[in-house]
Structure formats: structure tokens, C-alpha cells
Structure 1
Amino acid sequence: MEHQTAADSIGNVHLPYNSSTPRGIEPMLPQSAADISGFLTRVGGSARTRGLVIERPTRCASDLTDLDFMECTSAAAGQGDCAAHGKIVHIGRNGATVLQTSPEAAPEVVWCGNAAAAVGLLWKDKSGYVKLYGPAGKSALVSFSTTGTMVNQDWILPPPECTEDAWRGRAVLRCAALNDYAVVLDSLPDDVNPEQARRALVGPGLGAKLAVVVRPPDGAAHVAFYNADGTHGAAPMTGLATLAIIARFSPLMASFISDGTVTYQTKAGSITAPLPAVYVEPGGSMTIPMPTVEVLLSPFAGGRAQ
């Protein structure tokens, strides 16, 4: 089958694809010098995110030409032991870009705190700054420091856009400071499942996210996160950060999560965690400390992360 290279523009990222085959499932063939490894992040010994890191120091981070994605997608999916999977991290000479992959769809540029931690571990210095290139031409600056395999990071973001809306008798708060999120306060309507709500409120894309926050009579509010793959197996860093950003600017959200903590479900059981702090600078930009995570790297050989 003859390979044609066309350029899809995803924000400021150019993504090649084979137009004669289903989008996002082409064979991977890095056609320039690249180091490839698998990564796994853990929090408290619990597996959180699996993915693949491709380092091409001669390229810009947002230049994804000469990369095809079939074996990348398979390798990034990894085992079913983690809360999230399918991330591809492309590290270039000027920063990094993170993509979400799926066998059924074209990869999409996304924000991911766990994938960014892998960038911090692999960066040339043990501490410093990395520029992340995100969707819709946006970028973020990540300050990081590493101790062994542990990575600390603070994200520096431009001023956010948060809105409040109503849908099916529920309050909906929207924020695209990180991924494109719709946050529903209270449970979903009985006749609507999470995927239907996600598509109705945010859209079908891999970067479109839904969170449902339920406040019990007593105790911390409970949150569940949903993406194109279904229910997230824990709480994504960017999801908790999005809730914190909305609570910082929305009195409604602040009153709903009055003590600044939420609970979420994992395979290991229910976890209660504080929302990250949000520091707003005089110009409106934000600094958000992300949770510390452990990053483990593995060799990549024969089209699989070992």
C-alpha cells in the first residue's frame, strides 16, 4: 500500500496520516534518529498512566512529521493495570508534545500531568523548565525537579476561560485551561449515560473530558472523570487542576467543594485528596503545583514497550 503524507493541523502541531487507511492506525516508522521507551507513572505504588516516549532532539517538539502511529498506539496502550493509557510523548529540542491515542481514532494533542512527569525525568537537567505544546496552539511552561524516579512539577498557564451553563436541570461549568472539560454538578439524568453526556456537552474527541461532581450530605464531594475510553480509573492531574481552577473563579463550584477536597474511586479503593492550589499572578497567569509522581521507564524493542 502506497503511503501518502498529508499534514493535519492540530493547533500548531502537524500530524501525518495515511489517507487510504483508517485514521490513527498506521504503522509506526520514525524516519529520523529517535530514542523510544515506554513509561509508567505510579502514585503511592498504584499504576496511573502508561505510554510511550519518543525523543527526537533534532526536531521541534510540535513537528510530528515522519511518525506513523499503528505500533505506537499498540505500545502506548500497554497493559490493563493502570488508570489511563495510550499516551505518546514527543520530546524535541524545544520542549514536548503529548498525544492521546486510540485504535479507533486519530491521535489528538492533549494535556497530561503524568506524561509531563515523564518529560521531566528524561530532560537533560534534574531541574528546570520545559515548554509543553498543547491543543489549539496553546502552550504551558512546566517547572520541574527530580529526585531519583520521583518528579515534582509546577504548571504555569495563561489566564483561564471558565463559564457556567445549565443542561437538563443541572449546572454545568466549562473550562478549557487544560483539556476541554465540562463539569456537571450533581448526578447525570437517569436517561443519560456518561458517554452521551460527554458527547452532548464537549464533543466526541479524545481530548473532550467530562467530570461529574456529587456532593453527599456530609463529607467531601465525590468526582468521577470520563473520557473517550470510558471511566478514568482514578483522577487525572489535569482533571483535578481543572476543578481547582473552576473553584478559584466560580463561587458555585467553590461552595460545592467547600473544603477543597474530593473523593474518587480507584482499583485500590476510594481516595480522598485535596485539589491543587491555584496561584494567580498579577497578569492573570496561573501557577499550579501538581502531585509528585514516580516515573518508571522501560526499553522499547520489536514494536513493544518491555
Structure 2
Amino acid sequence: MRAMLLVNPKATTTNARTRDVLIRALGAAVDLSVEETGYRGHAATLAATAHAKGFDAVAVLGGDGTINEAVNGLLNPVNGRVGSGGGGADERPGLIVIPGGSANVFARGLGLPNDPVQATGAVLEALREGRRRVVGLGQASWGEQSRYFTFCSGMGFDAEVIRAVEGLRGAGFRATPARYVTTMLRHYFMTDRRNPPMTLRGPGIPEVDGVFLAIICNTTPWTYIGDQPVSPTPWASFETGLDLLGLRRLGMAAILRTAQQIVGEPRSLPSGGHLTQLHDEAEFTLTASRPVAFQLDGDYLGEREQVTYRSVPAALQVLL
């Protein structure tokens, strides 16, 4: 097997020595070509060439942002039409995931260990046994643009928090779980909690007005606070369509009640008159009366007034 390994040298939970050990271990199992990412979007550019260059797999040592880029490259190959998906899952290189970020939500959602060394051991075992898992993805489209996501998207307050944390990272601070929590609490008092901007529509879905925040999930958990899973849509999975949790109130009581229901191991669906929920949907659209913050897989992508979400079943082969 020939594999292209994409290494993010700035991955937060690995150092040069660990990366060298992991590269040697993978190189002993497959014919490995190593590429370091140097700028935003670089992993997508490299992964898009994998099929044309004859690689059987693309491995990623990095966080969720690097994995998202690689997935988008795989589904938009340089020898295929942009947005075409580049054929079926069995027609494109498989994906190998080695977590190296601060949250590693996609890797953990797949059941991989959060430690990169242990995850590499699991991957090597899968390579020996020829194990592959086919997973579905989500796709978000706005204007003439679209992008795939592996585990989540969000519009509204959660994307505002991600925007703020990215600003802190740009100033040299690490994106730790504690920093996300403190940023969320601080930002809560800065956001507009009186005028809900979004409306939810979709084929066969009753229209819902007055949505402040929408979390769209392709699996569960949505994220982690340290080792604690956060599961706003506990029925979501890689084998079903997209799920959504929307908040129509942002008062402190509503936020605290929702937080109590979604943090920790999921027990049941969140409940409350301030919530709107979808499960296993193929398509829906969020329209906003004003530009709202927008994120995919924890990557802030600016402000949008309309985004259409679609489920893409059986889109990707993962070696695990």
C-alpha cells in the first residue's frame, strides 16, 4: 500500500520526536511519502492530488482542521470536477487518522484513542487486518461555495466562540478546553440575546423561526470538554443523515438547563420548549436576517446569511 502522510508541524499535542516515531512506525507498514503542511488549505491541496499520484490512502497527523482539509481534498480531486465528490468511497484513497490536535473530535468519534501513539497502534492493527469503515459526511453550501464536514457545523453563538478562540490562538494562546469555556462565558454577555436571526426550513420539515443558535452534527459527541463528551444530538451517527439542535432562547436559565442535559455521557435527547431538533435529515437550510457566525468542524468561516446542509452517505473509507 502507498500512503501520503500529511503532517501538521504545529499540531498541539505532538512534538518533533513523537512525530518521528510515528512516521517510522507507519513507514514500516506502508510505502510512505511524508508532506508537511505549511499554510491554511495546504492539506486540501495535497490530498486532492493523492488519487492521481497513485496513493491508496491519505494519512493525517494533526487536528480536526487538518483532517477536514484532507477530506475536502479527497472528495474534490484535481482530476475530478470540483464538488463532484470524485466518485464513490471505493474509488478514492482511504483516510488514516492519527489525532494530533487539542480536541480530536473526529478521531474520538471513530473510536480511536486520543493519544497519537496509541492511535497509531490501532491504525497499524487495522492495516494488518485490512479493516475499513465507510462513513457519511455532511456538506454545507453557501452562495457558489460548498465544503464537506466530518462531525459538526454551527451557526450563531458557538461559531462566535470559535471565532474568539481563533483570535486568541493568533495572539499566541493555546486552544485548551478551559479557554473555550472561559471564552464562552465571557462572550455570552457580548452576544445579542434578544433578536433571534435564523429560520429553519427543509423538505418535509415544519418551518421554525426565531433560532439563535444551531448545531448541526454528523456524529456524536459534538465536542469534548477535556474527557467529558458534549452531546447535543445523541442519536447522530456516521451511518445516518444530519441531526440538528437549535436554541430559540439564550437566557441564562435556558443555557444552563441545556448544558446540564448535553454535557457528559448522553442519556436521552435534550428537552425543553426552547429547543428545536432534527434527526437523520437529508437536507435543510438555515436563513438569517443578518450575517451570523459560521463554523465547520471547529473552523471559523466568516459570517453567512444562508447555508444549506446536506447529508452525503457512504462518502469516505477510513482505515481503522
Tell me, yes or no, whether TM beats 0.5: no
If each structure's helix is expressed as a fraction of its own residues, which one has the higher value? Answer: 2
TM-score by structure 2 length?
0.30
Higher strand content, 1 or 2: 1
Comparing both chains, which one has the higher relative contact order based on Cα–Cα distances under 8 Å and sequence gaps of 6 or more? 2
